[in-house]
């Protein structure tokens, strides 16, 4: 007689099933509708295939398309496998390597045969058709467990040298799992997978591009062909995603930055930005706005050196944990372990600063500090350099030289929660001034870290408490905790902004740090007359000026609020007889503090309107003979269907009000 297992379901009911039964059997017993809808299962919290047999009493939750996050991950994983099968069917001799799911799709890395050469985007339509054929065949996806020797041998016999290498080097002694697609194709994979390829929607995916990728991410290894795709549960989701991509392309800050003459990038300073006058006006407006905010918040602005002795970075801990991302002078400086000494006491290694915090500690250490001096809030628009990988650089979003709106708050233990709460309220006000909604997340201790568990327990609890006191640890603000994602020296709160087309951007942070003050010997004299360590709160709101400007450009699609627009108004003439009046209007606007230009060219007014609309000028003030005689202007506002004739004084008052930063209104 077979053993019976008790299977507990989410509704509290319990079903008894014989040994050898699977989640698919339970779904079928509940009803044919659920059996058809089920995609995978959770057994005691572990996501598994529907065909995985029960081995003991268990808690079971069936996964359907309603469980969108899990269902999407499963589908994208399967699309990657179907892609690999399709490529090998179409192009014999191609070797397979890795194929994970991504945030919006999947990719797979291939080693094409030397005769075939790298894949190109011209290959994608044929691959898509083959993928649809595999999906239509509704091939069962079946899991098997193989010994390492058995699997390595198979890969070697089939000429799959990359898979053989990976199978041989996987850590651990346990057997490995493979998944069959039907009876004629398999891949090495942990799973889980959908029950069959037919569970995928053949119209809910699209292959998007091809790129090069090094085997195992190492440029010393072979170059592979990576094929990217986007995959969804149904064609409606795919259509919505493609529409978002089209909108994102229109909003691309690199494209708009050129059209609006804001900045450019070029190889002579790869990873750094050449700001043009109009782009730097945006920067200056943001800088002025932030200075008013930090002045109101009791911060003291400082300026620190760009280059510091490597021993300072060694003492802070950055040399051991961050050396590969630092620009070192000379550049052959040693890469030591975390606590290891530099090669020679006589070496004169220097490094461009990748962050401002150690320098701010050195300012704090100048002179004796009393408990009465705390909290001390030190702010810097600090220019930093990080040696980001060449392939990771992306316009303003990922650069090697950037400026942070960086500050460090040195405070007593009893001041931490109040200081973090005040920062939360300041960040809330600033993000709302720019029209952003956001989510707050708490990044918890990573596996590799400085400090004791008790220190981390306290720091994490303080951040939770501060957010709760600020009224922001709620579902409305997307409160979430992220295990393992904190910095090596401190947990951190993160602000994730949502832009106009639903994308999220992680910008602001605050970190509660007891490690760096200890490592760099920062202290103050307490009320008891003894030395005490301050707690150091690392905080930023924009994150970096470069990236925040890029986000703003894309969020507003270049149509920046009037107070941020580099050119807030253009006075354009219809006829040359109005040139003198246009000059008078521009002079009045300039006196009122408006950033204004004139367009007196002998061009048709519709041409001028189109050109300045492309440059995203908020207001075009059109003047002709009539306007000159009546002291009026015809105001064409960007995006509005009709112009409005206004008296000059009224127009100036309107523009002056719109041009005032939010904190000055």
Point out the residues that are catalytic.
Answer: 357, 386, 404, 406, 408, 492, 538
| DSSP SS3 for 238 | helix
Query: Per-residue DSSP letters for 437-488?
Result: EEEEEEE---SS-SS-HHHHHHHHHHHHHHHHHTT-SSGGGT-EEETT-S-S
Distance from C-alpha of 61 to C-alpha of 47, rounded to nearest angstrom:
9
Distance from C-alpha of 464 to C-alpha of 421, rounded to nearest angstrom:
10
Contact 494, 440 (CB under 8 A): yes
Backbone φ and ψ of 319, nearest 5°: -60, -40
Q: Please classify residue 606 by burial: count the beta carbons closer than 10 Å to its beta carbon, then call 0-12 exposed, 13-18 middle and 19+ buried.
A: exposed
Number of Cβ within 10 Å of residue 505's Cβ equals 19
- Residue 387 is given by DSSP the state -
Q: Give the bridge partners for 144, in sequence order.
A: 178
Contact 49, 193 (CB under 8 A): yes
Distance from C-alpha of 386 to C-alpha of 352, rounded to nearest angstrom:
8
Distance from C-alpha of 327 to C-alpha of 351, rounded to nearest angstrom:
6
Count the helices and strands in the chain (H runs, E runs): 20, 32
DSSP E strand boundaries for 52-133: 58-63, 95-96, 105-111
Contact 522, 364 (CB under 8 A): yes
> Cis peptide before 238, with omega less than 30 degrees from 0?
no
Contact 515, 490 (CB under 8 A): yes
Distance from C-alpha of 458 to C-alpha of 623, rounded to nearest angstrom:
65
Residue carrying the six token digits 């050129």: 258
């Amino acid at each position: 007689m077979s053993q019976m297992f008790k299977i507990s379901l989410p509704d509290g009911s319990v079903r008894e099933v014989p040994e050898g039964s699977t989640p698919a059997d339970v779904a079928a017993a509940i009803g044919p509708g659920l059996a058809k809808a089920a995609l995978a299962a959770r057994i005691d919290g572990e996501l598994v295939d529907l065909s995985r047999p029960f081995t003991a009493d268990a808690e079971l939750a069936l996964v359907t398309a309603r469980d969108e996050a899990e269902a999407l991950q499963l589908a994208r994983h399967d699309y990657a496998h179907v892609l690999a099968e399709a490529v090998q069917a179409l192009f014999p001799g191609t070797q397979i390597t890795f194929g994970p799911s991504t945030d919006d799709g999947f990719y797979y890395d291939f080693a094409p045969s030397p005769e075939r050469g790298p894949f190109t985007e011209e290959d994608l339509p044929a691959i898509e058709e083959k993928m649809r054929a595999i999906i239509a065949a509704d091939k069962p996806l079946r899991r098997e467990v193989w010994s390492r020797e058995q699997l390595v041998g198979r890969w070697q016999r089939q000429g799959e040298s990359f898979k053989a290498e990976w199978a041989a080097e996987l850590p651990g002694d346990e057997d490995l799992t493979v998944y069959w697609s039907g009876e004629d194709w398999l891949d090495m994979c942990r799973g889980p997978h959908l029950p069959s390829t037919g569970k995928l929607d053949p119209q809910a995916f699209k292959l998007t591009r091809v790129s090069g990728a090094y085997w195992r991410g190492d440029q010393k290894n072979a170059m592979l062909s990576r094929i990217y795709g986007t995959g969804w549960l149904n064609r409606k989701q795919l259509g919505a995603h493609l529409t978002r991509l089209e909108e994102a392309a229109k909003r691309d800050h690199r494209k708009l930055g050129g059209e609006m003459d804001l900045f450019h990038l070029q190889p002579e300073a790869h990873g750094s930005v050449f700001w043009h006058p109009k782009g730097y006006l945006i920067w200056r407006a943001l800088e002025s706005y932030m200075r008013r905010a930090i002045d109101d918040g009791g911060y003291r602005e400082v300026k620190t050196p760009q280059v510091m002795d490597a021993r300072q970075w060694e003492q802070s801990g950055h040399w051991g944990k961050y050396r590969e991302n630092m620009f070192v002078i000379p550049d052959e400086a040693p890469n030591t372990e975390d606590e290891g000494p530099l090669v020679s006491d006589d070496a004169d290694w220097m490094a461009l600063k990748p962050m401002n915090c150690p320098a701010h500690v050195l300012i704090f250490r100048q002179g004796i500090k009393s408990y009465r001096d705390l909290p001390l809030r030190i702010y810097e628009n600090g220019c930093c350099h990080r040696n980001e990988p060449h392939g990771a650089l992306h316009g303003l979003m990922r650069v090697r030289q950037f400026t942070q709106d960086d500050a460090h708050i040195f405070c007593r233990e009893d001041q931490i929660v109040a200081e973090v709460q005040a920062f939360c309220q300041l960040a809330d006000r600033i993000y709302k001034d720019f029209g952003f909604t956001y989510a707050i997340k708490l990044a918890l201790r990573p596996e590799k870290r400085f400090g004791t568990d008790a220190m981390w327990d306290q720091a994490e609890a303080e951040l939770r408490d501060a957010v709760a006191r600020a009224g922001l640890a709620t579902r409305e603000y997307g409160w979430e905790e992220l295990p393992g994602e904190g910095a090596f020296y401190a947990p951190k709160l993160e602000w994730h902004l949502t832009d106009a087309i639903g994308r999220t951007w992680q910008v602001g942070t605050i970190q509660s740090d007891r490690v760096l003050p200890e490592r760099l010997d920062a202290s103050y004299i307490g009320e008891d007359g003894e030395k005490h360590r301050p707690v150091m709160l690392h905080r930023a709101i924009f994150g970096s000026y470069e990236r925040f400007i890029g986000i703003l450009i894309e969020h507003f699609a270049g149509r920046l609020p009037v107070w941020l627009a580099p050119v807030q108004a253009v006075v354009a003439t219809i006829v040359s007889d109005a040139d003198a009046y246009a000059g008078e209007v521009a002079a009045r606007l300039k006196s009122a503090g408006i950033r204004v230009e004139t367009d007196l060219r002998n061009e048709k007014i519709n041409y001028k309107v189109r050109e300045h609309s492309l440059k995203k000028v908020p207001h075009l003030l059109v003047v002709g003979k009539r306007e000159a005689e009546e002291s009026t202007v015809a105001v064409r506002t960007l995006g509005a269907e009709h112009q409005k004739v206004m008296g000059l004084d009224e127009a100036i008052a309107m523009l002056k009000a719109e041009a005032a930063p939010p904190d000055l209104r």
